[in-house]
Structure 1
Amino acid sequence: MRILEELKQVAEQVENEQVNLFIEALKQAECIFVCGEGRSGLMGKAFAMRLMHAGYPVYVTGETITPSIQEDDLLVAISGSGNTPSVALVAEQAAKSKANVHLVTTNRESKIQKIADHQVIIPAATKHRRKGEPATIQPMGNQFDQSVHLLLDAVVISMTGDDKDIHDLMKRNHANLQ
């Protein structure tokens, strides 16, 4: 299937060192905050949910129960272009609060990158189809969104390591008021 081959090619180009630094920052954060718009925001919410299942203190920006971000906290900003105005505003606010800002993006030289302490580059196609983005049979930013989802799930799995009880912990933390 062509889509799976495209995702494999993108994943093979992600720099392991960037991901390892991201994982260490997540582990060290007092609280983790996640932001993104549109489908990037949905991928961020899925990531936040998995982090919560794994026992990490995590919030999604813009929700009514989200507290203020503090100095030892980490903001994960997800933006394919790295220039999404609302995400840039949140990143600026987090940086002013002296929180650590990590960007997940396709764009090495973006507005948010200039604010971020670290970035993870996912070399996937976005809806903008900028020069240098890979060819894809998929519309819009599907390739980026899917790649983000897979990468961030892999990050959570890596963060839980060889913990044999992680499935049980995640199951206990799963919503039960449904």
Structure 2
Amino acid sequence: MKEYEDLYHQILREHESVFAAQDQTQLEAALAEIAAAGRIFVIGAGREGIAARSFAMRLMHLGKEVHWLWDDTTPGMTTGDLLIAVNGSGCIGHIDYLLDQAGKTGARRLVITGAPAERTPSEAEMSLFVPAMVYKGTDPRTIPSKQPMGNLFEQHLFLLFDLMVMLLVDRLHETPQTMEARHRNIE
């Protein structure tokens, strides 16, 4: 099918453009923040949240103590902790609230977004701008997409998070074997 081939080539070109436009200085700073964190708390909503949750899982496989913020067993935050908030458009109200609350605990805050000019990244200690078109995003530096809504941003999070995990393996003195040893073993 010609349409199928045209679409997957378009999607691959879009992702390649986002990777090429990624600010590697910001990426390096985010990796250093994650590596240094005592405990990591993660939050996101919708498809962005699903990508964020998959990242939380891999961070746990890397040996980090990680909590999904809405889980009932999540402990309180304190100094030395890191909140990673995926807030694509920068305008997700309950994530804004959680960022404010986390700031009161002394935890550091990393916002991963496609709209860094919005409120939340300016109030967090760190922001990682992912230059992919995001749903309701307004930043003109994002790579445009022929895909609907925020597909490009949401898909790219999965790829970027997996790349970040690969970059963290050596920094955290991990191997595929040590990661696999932390995988759930009661399936």
The residue aligned with 2:4 is none
| Structure 1 CA distance for aligned equivalents of residues 66 and 78 of structure 2 | 13
**What SS is found at the alignment partner of 1:58?**
strand
Q: Choose which of 43, 53, 58 in structure 1 pairs with 2:66.
A: 58
Matched residue type, 1:141: G
Q: Choose which of 158, 165, 168 in structure 2 pairs with 1:156.
A: 165
CA change 1:137–1:98 in 2 (3 A) is same
| Structure 1 CA distance for aligned equivalents of residues 152 and 183 of structure 2 | 28
CA change 1:60–1:2 in 2 (3 A) is same
Where structure 2 has 5 or more consecutive residues not aligned to the other structure, the ranges are 1-8
Matched residue type, 2:114: T
The residue aligned with 1:121 is 129
Note if 1:98 corresponds to 2:112. no
* RMSD between aligned residues: 1.6
TM-score by length of 2: 0.90
Q: Tell me, yes or no, if the aligned pair for 2:103 and 2:109 is still in contact at 8 Å.
A: yes
Shift of residue 162 of structure 1? 7.7
The residue aligned with 1:12 is 20
| Structure 1 CA distance for aligned equivalents of residues 85 and 173 of structure 2 | 30
Q: Which moved more, 1:61-70 or 1:158-167?
A: 158-167
TM-score by length of 1: 0.94
Where structure 1 has 5 or more consecutive residues not aligned to the other structure, the ranges are none
Q: Choose which of 55, 72, 82 in structure 2 pairs with 1:47.
A: 55
| Structure 1 CA distance for aligned equivalents of residues 65 and 139 of structure 2 | 38
The residue aligned with 2:180 is 171
Matched residue type, 2:158: H
Matches within 5 A, 1:15-94: 15-94=23-102
| Structure 2 CA distance for aligned equivalents of residues 135 and 113 of structure 1 | 21
Q: Tell me, yes or no, if the aligned pair for 1:14 and 1:122 is still in contact at 8 Å.
A: yes
Shift of residue 131 of structure 1? 5.9
Matched residue type, 2:18: V
Q: Deviations over 1:147-168 (max 9, x none)?
A: 1111111111111128896111
Q: Tell me, yes or no, if the aligned pair for 1:37 and 1:86 is still in contact at 8 Å.
A: no
| Structure 2 CA distance for aligned equivalents of residues 2 and 83 of structure 1 | 28
**What SS is found at the alignment partner of 1:161?**
helix
The residue aligned with 1:137 is 146
